[in-house]
Amino acid sequence: MAEPGHEEQPDEKRVSWAELFFDLVFVVAVTRVSGLLTDSHSWAGVGQAVVVFVPIYWLWVGTAIQTNLQDTSRAVLHLRIFAVALAGVFMALALPQAYGRLGLLYALAYWVGRLVLGIALVMASARSRGIPLNPYTVSMVLTGPMLVAGSFAHGDAREAVWAVAALIDLSTPTVLRPQLRRMHLDAGHLAERFGLFVLIALGESVVAVGTAAGAVELTVGRGFAVAVAFVLSCALFWVYFHFAADAMRHAMATAKVQLDITRLVLSYGHLAFIAAIIFTAVGLRESILEPGQHLSWAFAGLLVGGTALYLASFGFTRWAMFRLVSWTRLTAAGAVLALLPLAPHLPALATLTAIALILIVLNTVELMRVEQIGWRARINGRVPAR
């Protein structure tokens, strides 16, 4: 699927319709996680939401890697994608009661989804090289069973077991780097897949705006809040898709060890991006409901902290890709974070407006810098005028 302004190479792998259909399941999952945070927005609630989101995200990542490595036109792969999607459906359905009566359903759904992804790979490898040690087999024999075992525990014990399982899943690509470093991936396809998950999360921010406005009477103040919140969502989109998406694609295509970009930028960096957008979406929803009232510390933390985390995460990914510091985005993250002590004492609309203005300034500065570099290059004759 070519990006606007980019010619598609003849041998470029495209995102398939089956993969796009698969992503619809995770729209539901992201919405459910957002609902968890809305209902329980304390530090403990944030921790619980992150712990149950990581397996959902890891199931998606495992599917994205597998479809990248295989021919997505094969019917058997489509059936495998649908089976994993069904596991994702049950995980999403179980989310509101994952720490209650539906914990076993949530855990079993994850384990089944990872088994579906892993068994075919294990069977193919076993015939030639024996059973491989990779993230799929680790989740099949260790973290999947850990989630199931944890579902029989209660309270903090369940959360602790699941948190350890999530950390093991996330650390597996780093621990197994020597075995996985020769893996070759299609750079354009995988970068686009992760960009689509960011788009799913951004869609949740738009849904949050719409559902909040539809749940109450639309006053003039709420109308302004809807407009500002939508501008803020558009600015978040611009930060990622106008510049960063192409940079990530380039880094993947030119990396000596693709695994390092996949592991640091795509797997870890995008987990931070998506979590940050979900946090921000919850804050947006609350801000629209009562734009003239002060946000509580919890909702102010989600709105301000989520936006700051989103921007700061680009500092991490830029360093991981190019060993460069993203001064503009880190500065903007600091400016947003500086609003945190003020946010609980300001009308929610004022906080929304301040964040939106910081993002607009950031995007304007970056656009001007890129345009300036482009014109300098043209003057020096290094690139042709378009």
Query: Mean of the pLDDT values across residues 217-223?
Result: 89
**Band (327; pLDDT cuts 50, 70, 90):** very high
For 277-293, how does the pLDDT look when each residue is reduced to its tens digit (9 = 90+)? 999 999 999 999 999 99
Determine the Cα–Cα distance for residues 47 and 42; give it in Å rounded to an integer.
9
pLDDT digit string (tens) for 37-58? 988 888 888 999 999 999 999 9
Are 136 and 123 contacting, i.e. CB atoms less than 8 angstroms apart? no
What percentage of the chain reaches a pLDDT higher than 70?
Answer: 92
d(Cα 119, Cα 56) in Å, to the nearest integer?
19
- The structure's pTM equals 0.90
Q: Which residues contact 293 (CB under 8 A, 6 or more apart)?
A: 347, 348
Amino acid at 143: T
Question: What's the CA dihedral at 191, 195, 197, 200 to 10 degrees?
Answer: -160
At 2, is the pLDDT very low, low, confident or very high (cuts 50, 70, 90)?
A: very low
Distance from C-alpha of 352 to C-alpha of 304, rounded to nearest angstrom? 9
- pLDDT exceeds cutoff 50 at 25: yes
Q: pLDDT band at 373, cuts 50/70/90?
A: confident
In tens, the pLDDT along 248-262 reads 999 999 998 999 999
Which pLDDT score, from 0 to 100, does residue 372 have? 74
Q: What is the model's pLDDT at position 369?
A: 87
Domains defined along the chain, listed by start: 15-180 (no CATH), 186-386 (1.20.1410)
CB 272 within 8 A of CB 313: yes
d(CA 170, CA 355): 31
User: In the predicted model, what is the mean pLDDT of the chain?
Assistant: 90
Which pair of tokens denotes residue 66?
A: 């597998």
Task: Give me the count of residues in the chain.
Answer: 386
